[in-house]
Amino acid sequence: MAKPSIEAVKAHQKTIRNFSIIAHIDHGKSTLADRILEKTKSITTREMKAQLLDSMDLERERGITIKLNAVEIKYTHTNDEIYTLHLIDTPGHVDFAYEVSRSLAACETALLVIDAAQGIEAQTMANVYLALDNDLEIIPVINKIDLPSANVEAVKKDIEDILGIPGEDAILASAKEGKGIDEILDRLVSHAPAPKGEPEAPLQALIFDSLYDPYRGVIPSIRVVEGMIEKGDTIRMMANEKEYTVLEVGVNTPKQQPRDYLGPGDVGYVVASIKSVENVRVGDTITHIENPASAPLPGYRELTPMVFCGLFPTDANRYNDLREALERLKLNDASLKYEPENSQALGFGFRTGFLGMLHMEIVQERLEREFNLELIATAPSVIYSVLMQDGSTKIIDNPSDMPEPQFIEKIEEPFVAATIMCPKEYVGNIMELCQSKRGEFNTMEYIDDNRVQILYDLPLLEIVYDFFDKLKSSSKGYASFDYEFRKRRASNLVKMDILINGEKVDALSVIVHREFAFRRGKAIVDKLKEIIPRHMFEVPVQASINNKIIARSTIKAMRKNVLSKCYGGDISRKKKLLEKQKEGKKRMKNVGNVEVPQEAFLSVLSLDE
């Protein structure tokens, strides 16, 4: 194949526009993406499922984006020139902030979508800052202007006052009704910069996503920043130094379409028989073995899980199925970490690490849905750094592994910087909530006449525990919330054990702040009393710290469970009723001689304190 001329590559480069859409959840990002695809006839309506970019069912159901996708769009401008637009979709949740930042790093431009009725929210701000960090051109789009409650002028003012971007430039759109789409495309051509980069420079291609194909291995999504990449090249991943031979390059339209080469500014994929997703790390740089780049692109970091929980199959015989399912998910999700865990109460399972709560929920749901597994999940935990008396440090992600207190010098827990935005009437409630969650107040400012931004440092433990729900109820759902990891800090933490019928249940151990221990211990044992069915004997449920009982409740013995009715000669009725009772028992775990329902292991998360 003839090498393309440098001139041709450069001419093509001038017609490229790489952009992302950033928005708060529900502000209409996916619908807007769909309209752009429709308008540019990238896909026919018949081909299109609603919100095509969100390819997993789960994403469509939840209306959120988990997995990134990039699409190449051919757009014929009014000046009759054909432009190549790359729409790089981003996940819309704080759990995936790092992936968002890498996707943004692959673009020159961000469409900032703001709901005309909701205005700017905490996540809007977080995304704008990420975009500004990456030096992106920002094109504000006020969406949903068709809503009766739309207040375009107020949102324009917000954009100027809060984000410092000229508000009158904002494009007015209604993705639902297809309004404003032409203007967006036109603005992308006229205002968004074409990518820089030299075709003859050493190759630097940013990996911003990957997908797993059972036949072709892991396929990274890349943005070429410098140089060219084509079939037959030998490439190296700069972070982990793995080397591969390129079998194919191409672009997503959104179907994979092979190309002869990818040059500077191009967004596409690379097939190179890569076996493990471990070797394709988001944020890493691909270069050539010969004439390599002197340095990788900036911004790469390893993804570290923030939240952990134990996952156990309800049916112990399905341990291997669970392992295989996790392996399969991991092919597509490098941030998922797991290792075998053995619980006395729950048997063999996996200690599993996630980027955040949503990530955890999604993985659990996929395991149950796509792999037909019934799981027991333990309450989520964060990572503690434990300084021992002997000067050594232990990293603990499982409360039951916490060393005995006499050996501990101090325990450090992760704190996050939380940004909360809410109407001013809820400030009191929210500050009270943050205080009760051991929050440290940083600042508060009015962002307009009506709304306030509050910054707190909060322990991640409390966020994992029930902060979202409490925030919602204390602001009638009006508060929005965003956070990022800030620091580790020593806290007065203790391990609290739960004993059922005198037996310690490792899977129920939790780490709590000492000040909350009594209250939370009481709440947990009361909750367990509600959840655990009565047995033929009395069952005490106790909370203990350092082997000292601090709270107790008692499940009274069962008094009567006998079918008095004869049902004539109909024995099948009796059997059905007994089967129903038996079925209920099957879904329980035996702790000693006590049958404990699955939901008990998550009960510490839904307490009325």
User: Which positions touch another protein (CB under 8 A)?
Assistant: 534, 536, 556, 558-566, 568-572, 574-575, 577-578, 581-582, 585
Rounded to a whole number of angstroms, the minimum distance from the CB of residue 608 to another protein is: 21
Q: Between 177 and 570, whose beta carbon lies closer to another protein? A: 570
Distance CA 312, CA 239 (A): 34
Residue whose CB is less far from another protein, 490 or 563: 563
- Residue whose C-alpha is closest to residue 523's, from 550, 494, 555: 550
> How many Å apart are CA 539 and CA 547, to the nearest integer?
19
Q: Which of 11/536 has CB closer to another protein?
A: 536
Q: Indicate the SS3 state at residue 144.
A: coil
What is the rounded distance in angstroms from the CA atom of residue 65 to the CA atom of residue 565? 54
Residue number with CB closer to another protein (275 or 582): 582
Closest to another protein by CB, 45 vs 561, is 561
CB burial of 359-397 (b: ≥16 within 10 Å; e: otherwise) equals bbbbbbebbeeebebebbbbbbbbbbbbeeeeeeeeebb
Nearer to another protein, 522 or 535 (CB): 535
Q: Which amino acid is at 40?
A: T
Shortest distance in whole angstroms from residue 586 CB to another protein: 11
CB of 591 to another protein, least distance (A): 18
Whole-number CA gyration radius for the chain: 27
Check residue 558 and report its DSSP letter. P
The least distance separating another protein from the CB of residue 580, rounded to whole angstroms, comes to 10
Q: Nearer to another protein by C-beta: 366 or 589?
A: 589
CB of 535 to another protein, least distance (A): 9
Q: Is the peptide bond before 4 cis (omega within 30 degrees of 0)?
A: no
Closest approach of another protein to the CB of residue 106, in Å = 55
Residue with Cβ nearer another protein (446 or 567) = 567
Q: Closer to another protein at the Cβ: 179 or 535?
A: 535
Q: Where are the beta strands (DSSP E) in 100-174?
A: 109-115, 137-143, 171-172
Work out how close the CB of 568 gets to another protein at its nearest, in angstroms, rounded to a whole number.
6
Report the nearest approach of another protein to the CB of residue 564 (Å). 4
The distance between the two most distant Cα atoms of the chain, rounded to a whole number of Å, is 92
Comparing CB distances to another protein, the nearer of 46 and 559 is 559
Question: In the complex, what is the shortest distance from the CB of residue 539 to another protein, in angstroms, rounded to a whole number?
Answer: 14
Shortest Å, Cβ 502 to another protein: 18
Question: Is the Cβ of residue 316 or residue 563 nearer to another protein in the bound state?
Answer: 563
Alpha carbon distances (Å) from 500 to 23, 232, 494, 508, 512: 47, 63, 20, 10, 19
Angle between helices 319-332 and 357-370 (to 10 degrees): 120
Instruction: Return the number of the residue (216 or 534) whose C-beta is nearest another protein.
Output: 534
CB 325 within 8 Å of CB 373: yes
Write down the least CB distance from residue 588 to another protein, Å.
13
Backbone φ and ψ for 531, nearest 5 degrees, come out as -85, -40
Among 103, 302, 58, 330, residue whose Cα is nearest residue 208:
103
Minimum CB distance to another protein smaller for 298 or for 568: 568
- Closest approach, Cβ 318 to another protein, in A, equals 24
**Residue 548 or 559: which CB sits closer to another protein?**
559
Total count of residues recorded for the chain: 609
Among 456, 453, 466, 463, residue whose Cα is nearest residue 427: 453
Q: Find all residues with CB under 8 Å of 564, minimum gap 6, and list them.
A: none
Between CA 17 and CA 113, with CA 182 as vertex, the angle to 5 degrees is 70
* Rounded Cα gap, residues 337 and 308, in angstroms: 9
Provide the minimum distance between the beta carbon of 573 and another protein in the complex, in angstroms, as a whole number.
Answer: 9
User: SS3 for 181?
Assistant: helix
The closest alpha carbon to 94, from 475, 453, 481, belongs to 481
Question: DSSP label at 159?
Answer: I
Among the listed residues 274, 331, 283, 338, the one whose alpha carbon sits nearest the alpha carbon of residue 311: 338
Q: Are 281 and 237 in contact (CB under 8 A)?
A: yes
Question: Cα separation of 114 and 58, whole Å?
Answer: 24
**CA distances (Å), origin 578, targets 519, 586, 597:** 39, 12, 18
Other C-beta atoms lying within 10 Å of the C-beta of residue 309: 27
Q: Which residue has the tokens 């939380």?
A: 418
Q: Residue 490 or residue 577: which is nearer to another protein going by CB?
A: 577
Distant-in-sequence, close-in-space partners of 60: CB < 8 Å, separation ≥ 6:
49, 50, 51, 54
